Amino acid sequence: MRVNRTFCFLDLCGFTAFTDEFGDQEAVAVLGHLRAVLRAEAEDAGVRVTKWLGDGAMLSGVDATAVIACAASVRDVLLTDGRLALRGGICEGKVIMFEGDDYIGAAVNVAARLCTEAGPGQLLVNGGAATSVPAHLSPVALGAITVPGVSQSIDVYALDPDAVAAAE
């Protein structure tokens, strides 16, 4: 069954190097903090943490604005009190719901690829989801990009923490 959802992949930047430098105990503390912040923000926003992915997570939701706001809140908390910056990719689109709790489709793949392309503290959003970005997050058009595994170019907008601070 095809459904419309918004997906977000979040990833801690530099986690492997951090673990090598500071050790397992510090790495576990960083992950614990990420998960606690993400669980609280997702619950408040009505967003589902679909999967934990090592030093990151996959989020999904029916309300693109809620998913985007949740990702930005988690990013901002970690920029304030975390030890590693967070990056993310967000995409809205129709996907196949598989076995009731998994999703298959281009929107999932694009969100994952955008996360990989994002810099520390940056959230990249596809054009379809960009209309749902809360105004205070100051989306900046980056133009069309191509990502591996996706045949069409994707209109991308950046949500950078510096742009939010400048707007305030």
Asked whether the predicted pLDDT for residue 104 surpasses 50, the reply is: yes
At the fourth CATH level, the homologous superfamily of domain 2-167 is Nucleotide cyclase, GGDEF domain (3.30.70.1230)
**For 38-75, what is each residue's pLDDT tens digit?**
999 999 999 999 999 999 999 999 999 999 999 999 99
pLDDT at 163: 56
Asked whether the predicted pLDDT for residue 168 surpasses 50, the reply is: no
Q: Where are the domains of the chain?
A: 2-167
H/E segment holding residue 9: strand 2-12
pLDDT at 102: 84
Global pTM value: 0.93
Confidence band, pLDDT 50/70/90 cuts, at residue 1 = confident
CB atoms within 10 A of CB 48: 17
